[in-house]
Every structure is written in C-alpha cells, then in structure tokens.
Structure 1
Amino acid sequence: MRIDISINNGGDVSARYLTWAAAPLRLRLLDATQGPDIPVTISEDRGPNGGSVRFCATQNGRYTATLKLAMPTNGTSVILYVQGKFGVPSEADGDVSIVVSDSDLELGRLPVMVRIRKDANQLTVAERDRFVSAMAQLNNRGTGRFVDFRNMHVAGLADAQAHGGPGFLPWHRAYLLDLERELQAIDPAVTIPYWRFDRRAPNLFTTDFIGVPDVLGTVRFGPANPLQFWATDGVQGILRRQLGASPGARADPNILSETQTLALGSSYQKFRIMQGNPHGSAHVNYFGGSISSIPTAAKDPLFFLLHCNVDRLWAKWQSQAGRYDAKLNAAYDSGPTPTSLLAGHNLNDTLWPWNGIVTPPRPSTAPGGPMAGSSSVSAPGPSPLVRDMLDFQGVVNGSAKLGFAYDDVPLP
C-alpha cells in the first residue's frame, strides 16, 4: 500500500514550490484493499536548515505541524492544504518533505521547497551563488533572454508605461515576476533577493556577489563570479560609479527608511510617492553610472535587487494596511473613470509589453512576449492587468496568488 502525493494541482517536480500562501495538496491511496478508510498522519521531515510546512483540511482554517485524516481505500482523492511556516523558508531545493504515514509505516513522501524572496545581505553562500549563476546564464554574455528585459525598461519609458503614475508599482511587480520565472526556468530554487538600501549591506557589495566598482566606475568581480562576463548593448561590463562611501559600509541618511516609507499614508495615492524617495533616491544617492538613469538602469543587475526591495516595501504596506483588494479605493487609485489615466496605469488596463499591443499610446514594440508561466500557480496569465498585481498572496482570492513572497511579509 502506498500513497500518491501531488501539490499545486500538478504532479511534475516543477510544481513543488510553496510560499506562505496556501497551496492545494492532493492525496490518493494506491494498491489498497477495499475496506474501511485508513487513518493516516501528514507531517514534515526537515533537512538541516530546511524550510518548514504546515497543513490544514480547509484553505482558511488553522494550520498545524501534523494533520490526521482518513484515506478512502477506493482510490478517491482527498484534497487539503499546505503552506510554508512563516519565518522558516528553505535554503535549498527539496530541503523539507511532506510525509504521509500509517502508524509507523511511511506510505509516501514529497520533497518540496518553501521558496521565498530574501534579504540579499543575509543569503547563504549557496543561495548567492545560485542567483548570480542564473542571472549570468540569462544574460549569456549579452546574447541571452535578458536582452528582452533590458529592452522592456527602455521602450516603456517614452510612453510612460512604467513610470510617472500609479502603475509604477504594478508594472515593476510584473517585470520582476517575469524575470524571476525566467531565472527559475534555469534554476527552480532561485528567487530575486532584495537590497535593503536603507541599511548597510556588506555581504552584497563584494566581488563575489554584486561587484565592487573601481575608481573609474568599472565593476570588478571575483574570478569565480560569472557576472564578470555580464554584457548589455554589445558592451561587456557594468558602469557603477561610487558616490562617497559604499552602501556596503553605510546607509544614506537621505533615503527614507522602511519605517518612514510605510508611514507615508494609508491610501495608495499617498504611499506611491515612494517612487521619488526612497526608490528614486536609492537609484542616485549611492552611485552614478547605469543604475542612476532610467534609460540605462536595467543594464546593471543591481537594478533588480533594488526594485525587489521597492516591491517588498509595497508588499509590506499592503500587508499592514490590508490593501490587497482592487475594489478598495485605498488599495489603488485608478482615477475617477476607468480610463482617466495614461494607458497602462488604470486598474483594468492590460500591462505592456505582455499584452503585445504596439499601437499608440503604447510603444511601437513589445519585447519579451507574454508573461512567463508557472507550474506552481495559474495567475496572472500571459497578459496581466494592473489589478492582477495587487493580490499577490491570494488573500482576497486564493487563485490570484502570483507564487512569490517575502521573508518578512506575512499573510495578514
């Protein structure tokens, strides 16, 4: 007698990834003699420093470390729910297993990962190396898929698809999600880490990680760091001129702290002024070079860690203020009418370039194609709307979750 275990409605290994949000867990007893239901216990088996998971018979109930249930012997599936235990993410792929047992007999197990975006300064060496390796492969010395992401940020500037309005945060959330899914196609254990630019980050600004600029602004990497081969626009290397002390050694006091950012206001209209400070200040206060200008910022891989923190601040504000529901005016200001803002900034607008629209007022090109899919979640689909970016943890609608979470942003 054995048991079949599947997660996220998929039997493939690519579906075996969790966040803090609930995911469906399907169990089915195999090779059992027909008769009364068989009592089983579901629990976890964690590896050293592994993630931790919790179980519940219903999606919105109380999650526990173990769960007892009765399995039908006729092969009928039983559906329950599993989520990562907040504060205990994985460090490696498959470092925690879901185990189903009958008394002392193990009937089946499924290795999973609690895959969470983390503080770049706190990554393990292995996590750091997986990320830089995946980024380098996506770039492929300037010839890889990363070209599309570079072009997205440039082409979207002229027609204000990504900046200058309320769509700034949703657009960049979609942008990060698309990039992250492409990285996960290379290494499914990778997430984009975030740079907390209001704190010093000595472990990030090293030659083994994001690089250290010399006096001319040329970023230097260690001999084992594959980012040394980074190239954009046909030119190898990264230009990042340091202004004053390194952010690895100090935090700029003129950049709003996390506490100050979260206190900007309880409505999205007030909160989104963070596009100027801390976001804009983080771009220009530490460095000159590519990172300090919108048309060139995405040439530097540091850009994505910076924006991951911008997105984390929005996510934390959403969690603390309860701003996931697109129906709430305080969750997103789309203007008094559905089309009162620039295209791409209204709540029900599709997001360029994933919508493929190349007629005015959209840009004349749409690099990258549709949004990359995920085996763990179905949202947001190939052509996301602005509103699809709000409920990223599936708080309002469980099917809306986007498959990412942050290490310090719990479910509300």
Structure 2
Amino acid sequence: MVYIRKDVSTLTVAERRRFVNALLTIKKRGEYDEFVRIHIDHYVSDGEGGLRSAHMTPSFLPWHRRFLLDLETALRRVDPAVTVPYWDWTRDRATTAVPWTKDLLGGNGRRSDHQVTTGPFAYATGDWTIRENVTDGEFLTRDLGRAGSPIALPTASDVETALRDPVYDVAPWDSTVARGFRNRLEGWGSGSGSAAWRNHNRVHRWVGGAMLSGASVNDPVFWLHHAFVDLLWTRWQSRHREHRYLPAGPPGPGSSQYRRVVARHEKLPPWDMTPSQLDDVSRIYRYA
C-alpha cells in the first residue's frame, strides 16, 4: 500500500509525537547510529580516490532516496503510521518556525557552544547522545542562520533554476559541473563564501553545527531536508519525463571518472540496487 510523506508544517500534534518517539526508539536500540556510520563511510569527495556514491556525484539523488527508505522502514517497524515528513525550506524559513519547535526537533543551539538545549533531542534529556561523529562532541549542535556570518536559506527561485534544467547531469560528473539538475540541486558552486553553496548544500550550512560534516545524520533535520530534496527530484522527473539519470553507461578507462561514479544500471553501494531501480517509487510512497 502506498503511503504518504507530508509537509512537516501540516503534521498534527499526535503525528509529531509519533515521529519523534519512533526516532528516539531506534536511537535507543542503536539502529540510528548505524545510519550515521553509513553516511560517514560513503561521504567521499572529489579530492579522494575511489568510488563516489553519495555526494559530488550523479548518484547523490538515488543514494539518498534509498537511504531515506531504509530509515523510514526502521521507523515504521516501530510505528507503522509513521512516515518521514519533509521541510520545505523555501517557505518555512524562520528559526522559530516548524520544524524548530519544542515538540518536534527543538530549537537553535545556545550561543556559547551551539549545543541544542530544547526539545526531545537535547543532550540533557539523555535520549540523544552523539556516539558516531567526526569530532568528540556528544551533544547535538546547531547554528541556525549562522549569526556570526549570516547566510539565507535557498528561495523558490533558486529551486526553479535547478528544476528548469532538463539534463540530469553532465561530465565530468562531479562537484565542478555548472550544468545539470543534479548539481544545481546538490549545490556545489564556485568561488568562496556563501555564494559557493546552493540549494541542498546551502541548507546544511544554514542549519550549521552537526549538519556541516559527514556526520550530519546526527541531526534529525537531515531526514526532513532530504525528503524535500527527494520531492524536488520527483518534480523534476514529472517535468522532464523524456530525460533520465546520467551517465547511462560507466566512464571508460581513459576517463578521470573511471570507476569513480555509478552509471544507470550499476549497483549503488552499499545496496544491491541500481539508480535505474530507484527512478520510480510511486508504488511505495508519494508526497502530499
């Protein structure tokens, strides 16, 4: 049966509570930390050797689609009524708006060390200790809007610029490409400062704290953010039905991207699934 992912701003009080409780349950069981480990392990940048499957690569979108599905499956084993809501950051832009409420994700970090002290994921609750990280910190951190060096969330216009591009991705299939929907949405830009970050990447920078590293999964907003990114991919797919995931075939031995990117029908690590198999999820879920 197809289930629905809702805009987080439309969740009822009961739906918010069930979503939070399911997250806290899989955290207590140790399942959540495995998701953090997987993301850290697969965060491979252009400058590193080997295969890039999660970031700076065409498979950015199908990789996170499958990652979200796995998290959602874990949550629904706890409570079958739960689905991952999405955060439309083009509309809900205030640091005190949903999802930054005490009954959902909690608010901003305090000024001194960016520690989140409100809501169910605050360190003081004892329910959300950070165990898998790229630093030694044990508490969740945020710096919404980056008070010391302000940055704005992407706008509907920024998103529309990405959605208009009919080509999924282009060579050399990395963070340097200036064309193609994938990187316009993933958001690797040129230059320095805030202008270098667009759409998906800019949201990570706007949230700050834990969301700045490969361990960004430690902040539950990661899932709400990526659910919206996934929704935007479904909109692009509907708008450009004649266009598909690229590259269709793997780059050859003479290419700098040989064995560094996942082609349409190649397995997408760490799963036994291809990008092509993740093109259409309409029989699994849809967005409200």
TM-score, reference length from structure 2: 0.76
Distance 1:254 1:292, change over 3 A: farther
Equivalent position amino acid for 1:147 in 2: D
Larger RCO (alpha carbons 8 Å, 6+ apart)? 2
Distance 1:148 1:386 in 2: 22
Distance 1:385 1:187, change over 3 A: same
Q: Identity, % of aligned pairs? A: 33
Per the alignment, residue 37 of structure 1 pairs with: none
Per the alignment, residue 347 of structure 1 pairs with: 264
Per the alignment, residue 47 of structure 2 pairs with: none
Distance 1:350 1:253 in 2: 32
Deviations 1:131-162 (A, max 9, x none): 1110111111xx51112111110011234221
2:204 to 283, 287, 300: 283
Structure 1 unaligned segments of length 5 or more: list them: 1-17, 20-114, 324-329, 355-382, 394-400, 408-412
Per the alignment, residue 275 of structure 2 pairs with: 386
1:209 to 104, 114, 127: 104
Give the structure with the larger strand fraction: 1
Q: CA deviation at 1:122?
A: 1.6
Q: CA deviation at 1:389?
A: 0.7
Counterparts of residues 336-375 of structure 1 (less than 5 Å): 337-340=249-252, 341=257, 342=259, 345-354=262-271
Q: CA deviation at 1:352?
A: 1.2
1:125 to 2:13 alignment:
yes
Deviations 1:204-252 (A, max 9, x none): 1112111112223111234xx366421222664311122357xxxx963
1:196 to 2:117 alignment:
no
Counterparts of residues 216-365 of structure 1 (less than 5 Å): 216-222=113-119, 225=120, 228=125, 229-233=127-131, 236-244=138-146, 252=153, 257-263=158-164, 265-269=165-169, 270-273=180-183, 274-276=185-187, 277-284=198-205, 286-293=206-213, 295-322=214-241, 330-334=243-247, 337-340=249-252, 341=257, 342=259, 345-354=262-271
- Does the 8 Å CA contact 2:105/2:121 hold for their aligned counterparts? no
Distance 1:317 1:190 in 2: 26
The number of residue pairs the alignment matches comes to 241
Distance 1:259 1:161 in 2: 25
Give the structure with the larger helix fraction: 2
- Does the 8 Å CA contact 2:7/2:88 hold for their aligned counterparts? yes
- Does the 8 Å CA contact 1:239/1:289 hold for their aligned counterparts? yes
* Two-structure CA RMSD over aligned residues (Å): 2.3
Distance 1:191 1:164, change over 3 A: same
TM-score, reference length from structure 1: 0.54
Distance 1:226 1:212 in 2: 10
Distance 2:225 2:199 in 1: 10
- Does the 8 Å CA contact 2:5/2:84 hold for their aligned counterparts? yes
Per the alignment, residue 173 of structure 2 pairs with: none
1:404 to 282, 285, 288: 285
* Higher alpha-carbon Rg: 1
Deviations 1:59-96 (A, max 9, x none): xxxxxxxxxxxxxxxxxxxxxxxxxxxxxxxxxxxxxx
**SS of aligned partner of 1:280:** helix
